[in-house]
Amino acid sequence: MNDATANSHAKILEVAEALYARRGFAGVGMRELAEAAGLGKSSLFHHFRSKVQLYLAVVERVLARVEERVQPILTAHAPAAERLDRWIDALVDAFAEQPASARLLLRALFEEDEFDAADWPEGQAAERRLANVLDGITRLLQQGMRAGEFRAASAPHVVQTLIGATIYHFASGEIGERLLGGPLLSAEAVRARKAEMKQFLHYGLAARPASSDEGGQS
Amino acid sequence: MNDATANSHAKILEVAEALYARRGFAGVGMRELAEAAGLGKSSLFHHFRSKVQLYLAVVERVLARVEERVQPILTAHAPAAERLDRWIDALVDAFAEQPASARLLLRALFEEDEFDAADWPEGQAAERRLANVLDGITRLLQQGMRAGEFRAASAPHVVQTLIGATIYHFASGEIGERLLGGPLLSAEAVRARKAEMKQFLHYGLAARPASSDEGGQS
DNA sequence: TCTGGCTCCGACCGATCGGTCGGGCGGCAG
DNA sequence: CTGCCGCCCGACCGATCGGTCGGAGCCAGA
């Protein structure tokens, strides 16, 4: 694979990521995509066997970037609670730097059955990456619960909310800014988001049972 | 409009909501939709002028259901903090009862430019509903801040996270259940979610700056 | 200079897209 | 019974869909 090939390949992925993030898999045609990449439509099929393969490659690339940021933290030498803090930092950073990723990922998570079972012979690469990330954070939670750092009952709940809120936040675009009354991506906003997430984390994971209203009020 | 017409109309909207929620606007064709509704394709165009109009009608119906649940609470006689609690309850209930709504709404929020500016002459009904809901919660926040019930700086942030996390949660389907290790929609899960959201709310809006980790632990 | 292998392209394929058209059918007012 | 009107349909339209094919241009090794 020489430079020209690699360049076209990368250019296609780049352009495709932007377009798929904006209008989704079904909403973007190969013609439009080719034109945006400065190629003929046939050339796309030289680099990727089919539209589905191209889309999966795009999703996989996004997940790979996230994984690369987030996964090394899991094995660090530190208490689970601190690793979880850093994990959140990394996740927020990853999305803040490339907000299109958040949109694409949000769509992709809900498009599973947009072409399910079909073609897609061994496109599991993307799925494997997603499973890696989810399994990683799940294991981290279990470690924290075993070590008594987290409240067992609500840990998955809290992290689920955390991930959802983060992805949603950076994907929300103008709607989010309208409610927020300010920019989503300024350095300050990113810092504020990290702080908010960590507060939520510590509150949700470490606080006393606090299950609504019964509690051991002796 | 006699009964038969009304029935077809409603049936179409119902079927369309389910399909659009699963595969998005561009992913569902009028043929498929007609077949699912038990009609000929031409008949769809008798009830709705175009595909875009049908889609907007579906989105508007979803937003109307949410608005209907959520809006009356704003004018109740109660402290802002309590109204916000009830607002969250209503939002969670609305999505929990019809989880397809959450998916559709999540997609719709990010599909604005899927057909932007185009056809769509006066389809603002959906947009108006959305603006109503967002303005309503924004006003409630302002009331709470003026009354000193909320911390002014972070209120919009917190509510943005709240809405995002709630929609994401109920839209997340199997991916969410995988991370959670259990069902999303059981009565217990819904209760737990409400509790979690309210905790987050009170912590985020009312607590002291709460710089992470000091705490009274002697 | 010839040759094999790449990257790329224009032209073309059958299928499907959103949308239109003319008419069939049934109930209801006259 | 007749005429009209609202609901529905099959057949059809041009445009676009994802994908294929044969070859043009180019560079490397002989």
ipTM attached to this prediction? 0.88
- The structure tokens 């990922």 sit at A105
Task: Identify the pLDDT of residue A209.
Answer: 40
Rounded to whole angstroms, the Cα distance separating A20 from A171 reads 13
Q: What percent of chain B has pLDDT over 90?
A: 58
CA B128 to C1' C19, in angstroms, rounded, equals 28
Are the beta carbons of B179 and A202 separated by less than 8 Å?
no
Q: How far apart are the first and last CA of chain A?
A: 71
Task: Identify the pLDDT of residue A200.
Answer: 82
Residue B146 burial class via C-beta count within 10 angstroms: exposed 0-12, middle 13-18, buried 19 and up: exposed
Residues of B with Cβ-Cβ distance to A169 under 8 angstroms? 160-161, 164
Cβ atoms of residues A189 and A176 within 8 Å: no
Task: Identify the pLDDT of residue B218.
Answer: 30
- All structural domains of chain A, each given as residue ranges with its CATH number in brackets, are 1-48 (1.10.10.60), 57-206 (1.10.357.10)
Rounded to whole angstroms, the Cα distance separating A133 from A124 reads 14
In this model, does residue B116 exceed pLDDT 60?
no
Q: Which residues touch strand D (CB under 7 A)?
A: A 28-32, 41-42, 45, 49-52, 119; B 1-2, 4-5, 8, 34, 38-43, 46-47
Q: Which helix (H) or strand (E) holds A164?
A: helix A155-171
Angle of helix A3-23 relative to helix A30-37, nearest 10 degrees, comes to 130
Task: Identify the pLDDT of residue B58.
Answer: 96
Cβ atoms of residues A102 and A46 within 8 Å: no
CA of A195: which chain B residue's CA is closest? Answer: B212
Does residue A142 approach strand C to less than 7 Å at its CB?
no
Q: Which helix (H) or strand (E) holds A166?
A: helix A155-171
10-residue mean pLDDT series, chain A (218 residues): 71 97 95 96 96 95 96 95 94 93 92 61 78 94 90 83 92 86 88 87 64 35
Does residue A187 approach strand C to less than 7 Å at its CB?
no
**How crowded is residue A214: how many other Cβ atoms within 10 Å of its Cβ?**
8
Rounded to whole angstroms, the Cα distance separating B203 from B197 reads 10
Task: Identify the pLDDT of residue A210.
Answer: 37
